[in-house]
Amino acid sequence: MMGRKQEINLQFFQILDGVLLVLAFWLAHVTRYSMTDWFEMPWQIPKFDQFRWLLFIIMPFGPILLEMHGYYVHPLQKTFGRSLKQIARAAIWLGLIVGGSIVFFRFDIPSRAVVLLFALYAVVFLMVREQLVLFKIRTQARMGRSREPVLLAGTPGDTARFVAELSEEQLIDMEIRAQIDIEKQPLADLVELLHQHSISRVIFAGSHTQMNRLQEAIGACETEGVEAWLVADFIKTSIARPSFDVLGSRPMLVFRTTPDVSWALMMKELMDRIGALVLLTLALPLMIAIAIGVRCSSPGPIIFRQKRGGRYGQPFTMYKFRTMRRDAEQARQELADRNEMSGPVFKVENDPRITPLGRWLRKTSVDELPQLFNVLNGSMSLVGPRPLPLYEVEQFENSAQRRRLSVKPGLTCLWQISGRNNVKNFQDWVRLDLDYIDNWSLWLDIKILFKTIPVVLFGLGAR
């Protein structure tokens, strides 16, 4: 079946893959443990008890990470290489979680060979499982088994367009036994087709069908006890992605342009908090030295606080090490004619308000380190569009500029790693932010974070 069946299949395969990963780890230990006798090695690894803590990471996180990297999406359309790449990316994340457990919880891995063998066995088990499932699906499709008898209802143009857009997986799951034009044919014909072909589901592709006709036809299906599915593409959008939800007992068709609630989004939140805590711990000596330097180099507070526009424009207080004179905000109006950025953003080359120490702090971006506290309290993320002052947000000129506020602001972003101060046009900045929002994935966040490292170390594109 479609929809619900796919969801159940996904859950089943995730549980199965979790079991296979545990089996792969156990077999890796058995193999390495036995190698001492096979090859007469002088040393023996500990028994499985000392490795057991890894199962509490492998079993739940393995399938979740595979799903995050699209391992379960469109299996019939994937190549062997793409599956390997998805497994490899999930393995990298799993390795990061294991590494974090070793650092923070003082856990120990007595044998690296067990981990390497586990990686080999896991890839083999997962790939064999996937190929066996694909073989079964294709065999059943050729034999005509497990295909749901479906009736298409709607105008000929609507039903033809619907069939043309069906994927290979969807066509394998169902057999279209009949079609009916509910605009011209009576409901009696619909009921007769239900009986004649033993239909279990009617799909209404009715974007050009009158609502009263649809309501009557769906009522006939209700009386017959046959499922009725309505193709809800009668509302056309260019950016927003439609999804289904329920508010109380009311079915809701939702159009969203931001990432939907998912395991990946929850992992991003977890990564933000853990990452901010780790970075704060590592950067604490540097932050203390910078604080002393700011205090001694110029009069004024160590930390610069400013109201910025957060998600959906919600104001929050953002923290930075102070890099300008105390009267910088008052002097901004005097420099208005030197603004080098188009749009509402204010940036000045060789800004005279910046202190000598502040110029170095800005070039290396270490003035942003206090924003890790913003990440910890949830007002910012490690990766996301840079937050702008409220007075700049209020000057946004169009909806595209407002849409960059639809996600949490971040410490770094595509603009940050694209030469930031070399991007003179605010529209180009917005385009980079919208590209990030529309193509968001955890892997994209990871790539941006890694590309931020040389930007910070070498001060690329900063002033």
pLDDT of 237 > 70? The answer is no
Half-sphere exposure of 320 (CA within 13 A, CB side): 18
pLDDT of 1 > 50? The answer is no
Q: Give the number of domains in the chain.
A: 3
Residues 315-363 pLDDT 10s? 999 999 998 888 777 777 777 667 777 767 777 777 788 888 988 888 8
Helix (H, G, I), strand (E, B) or coil at 197: coil
Angular region, 419: left φ>0, alpha ψ -120 to 50, beta rest: left
pLDDT of 45 > 50? The answer is yes
Q: Which of 203-207, 223-227, 374-378, 457-461 has the lowest mean pLDDT?
A: 457-461
Cβ contacts of 284 within 8 Å, gap of 6 or more: none
Cα gap 352→335, rounded to integer Å: 9
In a domain, 324, yes or no: yes
**pLDDT at position 40, please?**
67
pLDDT of 207 > 70? The answer is no
Residues 248-269 pLDDT 10s? 667 677 777 777 767 788 889 9
Same domain, 116 and 173: no
User: In the 8-state DSSP scheme, what is residue 243?
Assistant: E
Please identify, among 87, 108, 143, the residue that sits at the C-terminal boundary of a domain.
143
What is the rounded average pLDDT of the residues 92-107? 86
Residues 121-156 pLDDT 10s? 999 999 999 999 988 877 877 776 667 889 999 888
Helix (H) or strand (E) run with residue 63 in it: helix 55-68
What is the rounded average pLDDT of the residues 73-79? 82
Residue written as token pair 């008052």: 330
Same domain, 269 and 304: yes
Same domain, 313 and 298: yes
Same domain, 79 and 33: yes
Q: For position 188, which CATH number holds? A: 3.40.50.10700
Band of residue 2 on the pLDDT scale cut at 50, 70, 90: very low
Same domain, 76 and 213: no
In a domain, 254, yes or no: no
Same domain, 315 and 383: yes
Same domain, 37 and 93: yes
Please identify, among 143, 161, 186, the residue that sits at the C-terminal boundary of a domain.
143
Helix (H) or strand (E) run with residue 98 in it: helix 80-105
pLDDT of 25 > 90? The answer is yes
Band of residue 4 on the pLDDT scale cut at 50, 70, 90: low
Number of neighbours of residue 327 by Cβ within 10 angstroms:
10
In a domain, 253, yes or no: no
In a domain, 287, yes or no: yes
Structural domain of 49: 4-143
The pLDDT mean for the chain works out to: 84
Please identify, among 143, 177, 212, the residue that sits at the C-terminal boundary of a domain.
143
Same domain, 214 and 267: no
Cα gap 201→138, rounded to integer Å: 22
Residues 308-324 pLDDT 10s? 998 888 899 999 999 88
Band of residue 3 on the pLDDT scale cut at 50, 70, 90: low
Residues 420-442 pLDDT 10s? 666 667 888 888 888 998 888 88
In a domain, 252, yes or no: no
Residue written as token pair 């308000």: 353
In a domain, 251, yes or no: no
Same domain, 152 and 134: no
> Between 73 and 83, whose confidence is greater?
83
Written as six digits, the tokens of 213 are: 């006709």
Same domain, 304 and 436: yes
In a domain, 246, yes or no: no
Strands (E), 182-339: 201-204, 227-230, 241-247, 250-256, 303-309, 315-321
Residue written as token pair 């077999």: 27
**Cβ distance 302 to 321 under 8 Å?**
yes
Cα gap 246→240, rounded to integer Å: 18
pLDDT of 462 > 60? The answer is no
Same domain, 338 and 391: yes
Residues 154-198 pLDDT 10s? 888 888 888 888 877 777 778 889 999 988 899 999 999 999 998
Highest mean pLDDT among 49-53, 162-166, 454-458: 49-53
- End-to-end Cα separation, the chain, in angstroms: 58
In a domain, 250, yes or no: no
Same domain, 113 and 69: yes
